[in-house]
Amino acid sequence: MITRKKFKGISRRDLWLTITTVVLIALAVFVFAFRFVEPAPPNSIVISTGAVDGGYHMFALRYREILARDGVRVELRPSAGSQENVSRLLDEKSDVEVGFLQGGSAFSTNAPDLVSLGSLYYEPLWVFYRGPEIHDFGALQGRKLAIGPEESGTRALALQLLAVNAAVMPPTMLLPDSGQQAADLLLQGRLDALFLVGPPESPLVEQLISAPGIRLLSLDRADAYTRRFPSLTRLTLPQGVFDFVKNVPARDVTLISPTANLLAVDGLHPALAYLLMRAATEVHGGAGLLHKAGEFPAPLNSEFPLSAEATRYYKSGPPFLQRYLPYWAAVLVDRLWLTLLPVVALLVPLGRIVPAAWRWRARSRIYRRYAKLKEVELNLDEQSPAEKLTELLTQLDQIESAVNRLNTPLAYTDNLYAFRQNVNLVRQRVRDQLAGAK
């Protein structure tokens, strides 16, 4: 006799078997997805900056401090300037993933694998010079000029502006000096002019803006240059903005300025890209001498396409998780979420398949016995001897006994009773034929 207690045990065992199967399948999918989903971001990054005493390196030092708070180590690689930064990013053997670029440097040729993370700030062209006051680049013809090293954006821009003014050919002397070395030469009177591209916070700009005997070029035709070179913007350096007491500068100065841009390899991990843009917002998001608060960083025109992460960042801000969780926790939750998506996608059809499979498993225990019952029925004919009919009755008893011992859940006992009725039907036919044979 099959008791209710036994039926409960059977159902519980089948239930746990079903749950275990689903859990194992889901776990296997989770492990597979976690292994092949986008890997965790590295805990270090290499940035190609610029001259050690330049604006790029100065800001990169602040990036390094900010990223260190989230456990990301930043290695800074000084360089000769924008062109070398781009070359490093394009070099497959290089480990540099991020670099600074001066807007309008024209170094974007054959660089399809680089993307922009946005423009960071205005970095005006500062032309400090000695001698009588001048108001355009043409007046520098025939003088000794320091325009920066070969791979710098400063030199590229200086050559463009001098060339359109026919001031690039001899007797003009173009020297590769830059940074503090060039500033010292100008202060010593061994240079006539120094071209410098950088933010107003640059130590060299602050040093030269108030140096005795040194003037800052204010352009009368700034609008014309911005029309000719779209990457340039006309800016006004207000009177007295550097020093109110000493009134430095003594009058408004009209400058032209490219933007400083942050470039990255196209394969930069998205989490690191967002972290860098958050750092850029912290460093450059406030008001400056030449821009208002919130004006930078920005998705301004660039020779390079804006990355997908930058597009989303400037449209919607940081990812939701990074707004409220520490960086490491946001990355972990994001990876787990991406990993759970295929598991959830699998569980939805499993929610339909598993109950059906469980029903089939419960019923198949009984249905498999129908083959033997059918075999008994096929062996039954009108001319069967009494011995054979008695043997068929024995087989029916064995089939019924085997079915009665099956572990069948209570929900499917109707199949059990239906099978017993069919056994009884066949048994009755055998008995009727056996009675006729006697």
Q: Which tens digits make up the pLDDT trace of 44-87?
A: 999 999 989 888 999 999 999 999 998 999 999 999 888 899 99
pLDDT score of 427:
85
pLDDT score of 328:
61
pLDDT band at 10 (very low <50, low <70, confident <90, very high): very low
pTM for the whole structure: 0.68
Cβ partners under 8 Å of residue 107, min gap 6: 82, 83, 86, 101, 153, 156, 303
Sequence spans of domains, the chain: 124-257, 368-438
Amino acid at 222: A
* Each residue's pLDDT tens digit, 394-424: 888 888 887 777 666 666 677 777 878 888 8
With both helix axes pointing from N to C terminus, report the angle between 55-68 and 270-284 in degrees, rounded to the nearest 10. 120
Shortest CA distance to 167 belongs to which of 158, 155, 179, 177? 158
pLDDT score of 108:
52
pLDDT score of 9:
42
Instruction: State yes or no: pLDDT of 105 exceeds 80.
Output: no
Q: How many helices (H) and strands (E) does the chain have?
A: 14, 12
Q: Checking phi first, is residue 216 left (phi over 0); if not, alpha (psi -120 to 50) or beta?
A: beta
The percent of residues in the chain predicted with pLDDT above 90, rounded, is 51
Sign for the pseudo-dihedral over CA of 317, 321, 325, 329 = negative
Q: Domain 124-257 carries which CATH code? A: 3.40.190.10
Residue 75 CB-half CA count within 13 A: 9
pLDDT score of 214:
97
258 φ/ψ angles, rounded to the nearest 5 degrees: -80, 180
The rounded mean pLDDT for the chain is 84
* Each residue's pLDDT tens digit, 326-367: 776 666 566 555 565 666 666 667 666 666 666 666 667 677
Q: How far apart are CA 81 and CA 86, in angstroms?
A: 9
Shortest CA distance to 413 belongs to which of 2, 17, 13, 16? 2
Amino acid at 251: R
pLDDT score of 3:
46
Q: What angle do CA 35, 39, 43 make, to 5 degrees?
A: 135
For residue 207, how many other CB atoms are within 10 A of its CB?
Answer: 15
Instruction: State yes or no: pLDDT of 174 exceeds 50.
Output: yes
Q: What angle do CA 400, 401, 403 make, to 5 degrees?
A: 65
Asked if residue 303 lies in contact with residue 106, where contact means CB atoms within 8 angstroms, the answer is yes
pLDDT score of 243:
94
Greater confidence, 386 or 198?
198
DSSP 1: -
Greater confidence, 238 or 113?
238
> If you write DSSP's letter for every residue of 225-263 in order, what string do you get?
HHHHSTT-EEEEE-TTSSBTTTTBSSS-EEEEE-EEEEE
* Each residue's pLDDT tens digit, 228-283: 998 899 999 999 999 999 999 999 999 999 999 999 999 898 889 999 999 999 99
Q: What is the CA radius of gyration of the chain?
A: 41
Find the Cα–Cα–Cα–Cα dihedral 139, 145, 149, 155, rounded to 10°.
-10
pLDDT score of 412:
65
Per-residue burial over 291-304, b if 16 or more Cβ lie within 10 Å, else e, is beeebbbeebebbb
For residue 143, how many other CB atoms are within 10 A of its CB?
Answer: 18
For residue 129, how many other CB atoms are within 10 A of its CB?
Answer: 21
In this structure, the strands spanning 125-129 and 215-216 are antiparallel
